[in-house]
Structure 1
Amino acid sequence: MNILVTGASGFVGRAVVAELRARGHTVWAGSRRGEAVAGAHGLKLDVTDPGSVQRAVGQADPEAVVHLVGIIAETKDQTFEGVHVGGTRHVLAATPRHARYVHMSALGARGDSGSGYSSSKARAEGLVRASGLRWTIFQPSLIFGVGDDFFGRVLRELVSTAPIVPQIGDGSFPFRPVSVQDVARAFATAAGSETGVGETFRLTGPDEYTFRQLLELELGALGKRKPIVPVPLPLMNLAVPLMGLLPHPPITRDQYAMLKEGNTAPNEPARTVFDLPMRRLPEHLPEIVTQAKKG
């Protein structure tokens, strides 16, 4: 099949492109810079520019579109509304009516979320369901793998920066991380078949952890021993906005809101429908943090 992947140069995008190519598909890698990815044809594609999207889709002439573009923090040029909602609207409008469409959302996407990220993802899902295309929506939890942002940067910096490790509240917020390989396998299977048409699947891993357990795992993977000190939520509520004044804050307000909500769900039916191996975080975390340190 001829498949266009948006956001192909990102962490998940590279894994999806590689998986699709391994299955023999012709892949067009759409990104703002238009670079080739894992041997796939590179295409300039800015989802916030409808003309750019139309040109890329016209060149690729896809039988399937995998839409992965997303941001985890807003900038002056990129907002959750512009990228997640507007970008999805532009991609849906350009996608040929006969094409398969597979969409990256997020676990916890809902309109009343305290996170701008999650609420914008929910609005984008609404556009997909109303599109009339043969769509499938995936809602991944925290995605781990070499090059990921959460375990490779956010959590690593959180446990490495100070002599103590600050724990948000009582640390009981639950998470069920999923590997990028499992995510790529699910997207590739859906894009190349009719499996899951008109359905929404939560993508989570085999094991659930509390936030405190994730901190302990990260410390162990880094070979560090530090005390973990709970920080009361009222104090965190004051500290996080102040962190936002830094050039590169360790955690944004939006990420803080998502952490407090937790991020977990059963891994069925996605595990069975897409035959996912369900890789486990502790087996891969040492390589993730080692590679992140080299970077």
Structure 2
Amino acid sequence: MNIKNICVLGGSGFVGSHVVHQLAEKGFNVRVLTRRRERAKHLIVLPTVDVVEANIFDPIELSQYFEGMDAVINLVGILHEETPGRNDKPSARRGSFHETHIELPRKVVHACAEKGVKRMLHMSALGADPVSRSAYQRSKGIGQVIVQESSVVNQENENWYLNGPKFVHGAGLATTIFRPSVIFGRGDSFLNLFAGLVKSFPVLPLANPDAKFQPVFVEDVAQAFVNSLNNSATFGQTYDLCGTKEYTLQQLVEFVAKTLGIQRKIIRLGEQFSYLQAWALELMPGKKLMTRDDYYAMQVENVCKSEALVSLGVKPTALEAVVPGYLADVTPRGRYMAFRNKAGR
């Protein structure tokens, strides 16, 4: 499969920005669909990237912008549902889990079928399960099934991709699904969250302290996407993406505190108090630190049993090799050094 033109949904986000940069470095022509073009200033300057403001939840617009594309990459996802404001336009709302993780993949599959797009890469999540108690994991799981069911139906013909897939009820795509554990990197919403909490509170009541994660570096995730594009061995496959080591949530928080050079008392909360903390934080206005849905999600170990990154030609990056370099920026000394570097001193 000779892929040249790629449409990326969610390309201006945390993972998407890294994917788009790597695609541009490889010489691919990339069309990024985004709700607000202003958010993608860092991508507009890339020579082979076209940033388009669009409502990706509109099937007509999806079909319009999939015209002439060889592949589509869907990276769109939300961690928490947000109720849209009374005056929000449909194109500006964040939407629900159902709209974002279920209906959008369904619309993408149909638009690909309509425009003859042969290749689709889809971002799911480790722990995604159609019957999960967590609404996030459940919606991710259903969306994953929708993409899996659209996969190639005539793989017995090794040259099927040269002649074009047979779209049967929206099926026939050469799909690849990625299920990463929590993703770390400069600007992440996971370790940076704990860095803020460690700096702000002398004592940290920690819910689900024994929840297990295997964090994966954002650049490694992006490389996995790019490496799989023209690799026929990845067609119809699902890959769990994890880093080099498992951690409990408490170990991660302790690592963040140590990296920042701050001593903090961590109070381990049992099951009942973990749930109550999640419920209380869910009721607070503003950005959600935690919800009951997060509590349910953390009951499932977020770790991998396979070495998918290695099979995709990616050498996993250790968390300890990267995180200190960007968490240091949140300390006064780190900000001072960043200022000096920017000033060329």
- TM-score normalised per structure 2: 0.79
**CA offset digits 1:226-270 (Å, max 9, x no partner):** 1111112211212222212222232122223223323111342x2
Cα contact 1:97–1:133 (8 A) shared by 2: no
In structure 1, what residue type is equivalent to 2:259? A
| Matching residue of 2:75 | 68
Pairs aligned (count)? 290
In structure 1, what residue type is equivalent to 2:96? T
Cα contact 2:207–2:270 (8 A) shared by 1: yes
| Matching residue of 1:93 | 110
| Matching residue of 2:175 | 135
Cα distance, 1:124 vs structure 2 = 0.5
Gaps of 5+ in 2: 85-94, 151-171, 339-345
Q: Does 1:57 align with 2:57?
A: no
Residue from 246, 249, 254 that aligns with 1:216: 254
Structural mapping, 1:34-45, within 5 Å: 34=37, 35=40, 37=43, 39=46, 40-45=49-54
Q: What's the RMSD between the two structures over aligned residues?
A: 1.9
Cα distance, 1:160 vs structure 2 = 3.0
**CA offset digits 1:131-189 (Å, max 9, x no partner):** 22000001000111001111122x223333321122224x2221111000110001011
Distance 2:282 2:245 in 1: 32
Structure 1 stretches of 4+ with a deviation exceeding 6 A read none
| Matching residue of 2:161 | none
Cα distance, 1:217 vs structure 2 = 0.8
1:111–1:243 CA distance, 2 compared to 1 (3 A)? same
Distance 1:55 1:223 in 2: 52
Cα distance, 1:190 vs structure 2 = 1.4
Structure whose CA Rg is larger: 2
Q: Does 1:236 align with 2:274?
A: yes
* Structure showing greater relative contact order (alpha-carbon pairs closer than 8 Å, 6 or more residues apart): 1
Cα contact 1:140–1:183 (8 A) shared by 2: yes
In structure 2, what residue type is equivalent to 1:105? S
In structure 2, what residue type is equivalent to 1:266? K
| Matching residue of 1:18 | 21
Cα distance, 1:292 vs structure 2 = 5.6
1:45–1:195 CA distance, 2 compared to 1 (3 A)? farther
Distance 2:198 2:294 in 1: 16
Cα contact 2:207–2:277 (8 A) shared by 1: no
**CA offset digits 1:88-125 (Å, max 9, x no partner):** 11111111434211110000000121211111011111
Distance 2:283 2:15 in 1: 29
Cα contact 2:71–2:119 (8 A) shared by 1: yes
| Matching residue of 1:108 | 127
In structure 1, what residue type is equivalent to 2:132? S
| Matching residue of 2:167 | none
| Matching residue of 2:56 | 47
Distance 2:330 2:56 in 1: 28
- TM-score normalised per structure 1: 0.92
| Matching residue of 2:196 | 157
Distance 1:195 1:149 in 2: 32
| Matching residue of 1:266 | 305
In structure 2, what residue type is equivalent to 1:261? V
Cα distance, 1:16 vs structure 2 = 0.3
Identical counterparts, % of pairs: 33
In structure 2, what residue type is equivalent to 1:240? A
Gaps of 5+ in 1: none
